[in-house]
Every structure is written in C-alpha cells, then in structure tokens.
A and B are shown apart, each in its own frame.
Chain A
Amino acid sequence: MDSMGMIIGTWLAGFLTLAILSFLYKDNPFYKLAEHLYVGVSAGYWLIYVAFFDIKPMLIDTFMSETGFEKWIILIPGALGLIMLSRWFPKIAWLSRWPIAFTVGIGAGLGITANLQGYVLPQVQATILPLTGFTVADLSNLILIIGVVTTLMYFYFSKPHKGLLGGGAKIGIVFIMVSFGASFGYTLMARISLLIGRLYFLFHDLLRILD
C-alpha cells in the first residue's frame, strides 16, 4: 500500500478508535456512527469470507473441477442451500425446514461425538492424576480432583442437595466462585491489554508521541 493510503488508513482508524472511546463520556452521534459502521462492515466482511472460503472452494470449484460422482453429489448441499432461501417466499417457506433439519442433524451428530471425544473423555482422563506422595504437586492434584468432583456434584440437580451430595455441593460452590473470580480477573486483564493496544496505536501510530 502506498504511503498516502497508509496515512489515510491510519487517520481513519484513529477517528474510529476515538469515536468508539467517546462512549465513555456518553452516548453520542460519533459513537452511533462508528457502531453502525462496525455492524455494516462486519456483515460485508463475513459475506465475502463465506463466499470466498466456503461457497467458492467447496461448491463452485468442486463442481467445476471434479468429474463423475463427485461432481454431481456436491449439488445436494447446493440445492439444500438454495432451498434454505425459500424463506423469502411465504408459500414454500416450510421447505426451509429441510436444510435446517440437515444442519441440526449435523450439529446433533457432532454434539455426541465431538463432546465425548473432545471434552468428556480428555477432561476425565486429565483429572485422573497420581496421588503418590505428600508433595505440593500431589496436594494440588488432590485439590484438582476434589474440585472437579464437587463441581459436578453442585450441578447435579436430580436429587436434593442433602447429606453427602449437599456437603459436596457446598465445597463445589467454593471452587466455582474461585473459578469465576479468576476468570473475571483474567478477562478484565485481556480487555485492558486490548485497550493498551488501542492507546498505543493512538499515541504511537497516529500522534507519533511514543517512539
């Protein structure tokens, strides 16, 4: 990109950054403008992204380059995609349930396999930790195991939280609150890191105050 393009781009980015930050004072037309521009530009970005990375390579390029069975079978999702657009025509809008059913079916299928393979089994496996001595690591492992089990007990609502389940749930809430607090602090620091990035842009790239 030429230097004039860079200058215009930097000023544009600077204006938009300040427009969003102006909301800290109060809601104002500059913030509204930047907010609406963000929605419009993001929608356009994702439309191009989907067209270029999904529809073109997976549907159009496959249809143009493949032969025989592979060439024609790819028309099925293409047809389902077009049927999805039947929502634009009220008389045949019910047809859109077919592609919706297809996506829901895929989601449900993945919901079983991906959750079992990606979450349940690896997380259970990672929780089965050695407790072979009295070191700090062993104590941490014990706390981790107790934390996982008692958190699961807290979220078990099929029986009243009394007796052993109630006691476990009470310990579980301790772990949950510590976890929420830690996640909160972690998220806040991540956002502040982003803020520092934007302030650095303003003072370094735009105003050239910082080296």
Chain B
Amino acid sequence: MRNRFDKELEILNLELIKMGGLIEESIETSAKALINKDLEMAKRVNELEVEIDEMEKTIENHCLKLLLQQQPVASDLRIISTALKMITDMERIGDNAEDIAEISKFLANQKFIKDLVHIPQMAEATISMVKRSVDAFVNKDKELALKVCKDDDVVDNLFQIIKTELIEKIQEDTENGEQAIDLLMIAKYLERIGDHAENIAEWVIFSITGEHRIRGEKI
C-alpha cells in the first residue's frame, strides 16, 4: 500500500546509522588524539565535525520533506519527530568531540600529570551508548534504549572519579593545575556526550511508547 513511504523511512534509518557511525568515529578519534598526542587525529576530528553537520542538514531536510509529503500520523509521526530530535543531540556530540580534540592539541607537547585510565574508559562507554541508542531506534528496541539511559550512570561515576583524582593532583603540586583543568574539561565533555546519548535513547523510547520521560524519571 505504501511502498514509497516505507522506502523513505528505510533511507532515514540508513542516514541515522551513517551519522551515528560518524559520531562514534569522532569520539574515538578525539580520544586517540589525546592519548597518543596525535595532531593528525585531532585534525581528522575537525573534518568529521563538518561531515556530521552536513549529515544533520541532510536528515533534517529529509524529515521535513516527509512531514510535508506524507503528513505522517501515529508511529510514523513519532519516528520522524524522534529523528529530528535525535540529530540535534548527535550534532552536539560532534561538537563535544571537536572540543576534546582542540584541547588535545594543547596537550600534545606536554607530559601527562597522570596515566590516562578513566578518560579512555569514558570514551569507550559513550561510544557504546551512542551506538546502542541508534541501534535501538532502528530496531525499535525499547529495552536496549532503557539500558543506554541506565549506562549514563557509569559515565557520570567515571567523571566523579576523574574529578577526585585531578583535585588530588592539584593538591600535590599547583603546577599541575592548568593541565588538570584541561583534563577535567575533557572529562566534562565526555560526560556531556553521555547526557546527549541518554537524550537520544529517551527519544527512542518516545518513538516506541509515545511517552517522553523527563531525565532521571523511571519508566
């Protein structure tokens, strides 16, 4: 009955998977740029950010076209409005990854005041959250989306650990202060990425259930 519309929705899914892939790559590359003090990697994040912005525009235009042409209702309307909300958070994640890459450029010629253990863990956790939130959307998997929301606690805990460690480093030697603040900002950007991934998962739950929870609220 509605082959064309269904095909368009499939294309929308593919576009979101592609944008999700770019974001995962962007977080991963920014973390590598930091850990390996690799300026090329940091530049690559800038390029990815441009691609992510373009992808956001493409998906936004696609969604607006579908709203205009198909006048969707019920699950179709929820899917398209969710896609529109998701890409805003996805684009912000791209910005945050770029912010991390910018700081990593400053740190590239410095000796780290501590081994970077928890920051890579945070990056890994947020990449997984982003990947699963997009998967949950494509597969209409509410349970997976709920897990993503829960996993934000892991990221928040890692942030607290890093913060405590960095305070100790500053207390040990005030010379550590500047780098400690840079590293804290990186951790904060990763914590924000976790929040954006949680937002995405919350919109995915809306697309399935029709109910949008407020952050932290149990469903």
A and B held together in a complex: no
- Chain B residues engaging chain A, CB cutoff 8 angstroms: none
